[in-house]
Amino acid sequence: MTSPNPYVFVVGCPRSGTTLLQRMLDHHPDLAVANDSHFIPRVVADLAEDDPVLTPELVERVRGYRRFYRLGLSDAEVDTAARTASTYTELVAGLYTAYGAQRGKSLAGEKTPDFVKYLPQLHRMFPATRSVHIIRDGRDTALSVLEWAHDGKGPSKLAMWDEEPVGVCALWWRRQVRAGRRDGADLGRDLYLEVRYEDLVDDPEQHLSHMCRFLNLPDEAERMAAFHVGMSRPKPGRSAKSAWLPATPGLRDWHAMPERDRALFETLAGDLLEEIGYERSVDTVPAEVAEVAERCSQWWETTQHRRPRVGSPA
């Protein structure tokens, strides 16, 4: 019998609400969603094919991947999955089935935001797996990234970060959201679903009901929206994620960004903001900001845009 796992991928630009959505989906009685293990495409990134024959060396490569521990599987559980698998994808399916079984659930998926760049590869490997792409207003994402990105996290590793972090945020957000929407459109409506973060926090139960239908799961939206009950631990200075807050509108407000930053972000990514349904706020871009935006764009085209498309066949 073919395993249905991994059943769903939760993807999106980092700092867009992927953890909130993961916790909601994980609260469904039939579905477990792992958090940020990253390993599926990366373990085979330097191999000639997506689904190689399983070897003891490949099993050890999986076991030793630096974030694999987040699945919380014992060596015995990994060994059991390996014994019943002949290929890499069969191993992965067995690992997620074991992850779900630990939690008393038959279905299991993965939330790794970065998978938004790997949808073609992931769906070659697992053609029936559905993907949910959560999208947040890029200006609010930028506010979160500016607090979070340091020591090589996210876009802070890029060369222009120290000079123009808002410009880097805009181009980084645009690339990831654009990639997810482009590749998701290729998958079609049966396998790909978009949800706006703002819509999810404004009316969690409505949008979770829609996700249950998309995932062919019983509607447990009320239960899923209450994921935080018994878990919340608010404390001054603690982030919404660390405090396990419920869906909370207004955690960020891009309207409070300096006008110069808003103008720069909208010059670089305003087309995508509007495409998704977000409003622009700056009518006239100052000449100085336009010059900075042009410099950011040229840097991006030279150093980032021409890199090979992630997850596409060689």
C-beta of residue 132 within 8 angstroms of C-beta of residue 211: yes
Residue type, 14: P
d(CA 234, CA 221): 24
Confidence at residue 305, expressed as pLDDT on a 0 to 100 scale: 63
Q: Which CATH number fits domain 8-305: 3.30.420.10, 1.20.1260.10, 3.40.630.30, 3.40.50.300?
A: 3.40.50.300
Q: Which of 139, 177, 135, 118 is nearest to 308 (CA)?
A: 118
pLDDT digits (tens, 9 = 90+) for 90-112: 999 999 999 999 999 999 999 99
Q: Phi, psi at residue 95, to the nearest 5°? A: -65, -45
pLDDT digits (tens, 9 = 90+) for 22-59: 999 999 999 999 999 999 999 999 999 999 999 999 99
Confidence at residue 184, expressed as pLDDT on a 0 to 100 scale: 98
d(CA 72, CA 43): 17
Confidence at residue 212, expressed as pLDDT on a 0 to 100 scale: 99
pLDDT digits (tens, 9 = 90+) for 275-288: 999 999 999 999 99
Domain segments of the chain as ranges:
8-305
d(CA 49, CA 92): 15
Mean pLDDT in consecutive groups of 10 residues from the start of the chain, 314 residues: 91 96 98 98 96 98 97 98 98 98 98 98 98 98 91 88 97 98 98 98 97 99 90 63 68 91 98 97 95 97 69 52
Confidence at residue 233, expressed as pLDDT on a 0 to 100 scale: 66
Q: Is 117 exposed, middle or buried (0-12, 13-18, 19+ CB in 10 A)?
A: buried
Confidence at residue 42, expressed as pLDDT on a 0 to 100 scale: 97
C-beta of residue 83 within 8 angstroms of C-beta of residue 147: no
Using left for φ > 0, alpha for ψ between -120 and 50, and beta otherwise, residue 285 falls in beta
Report yes or no on whether pTM surpasses 0.85.
yes
- Dihedral sign, Cα of residue 252, residue 254, residue 260, residue 261: positive
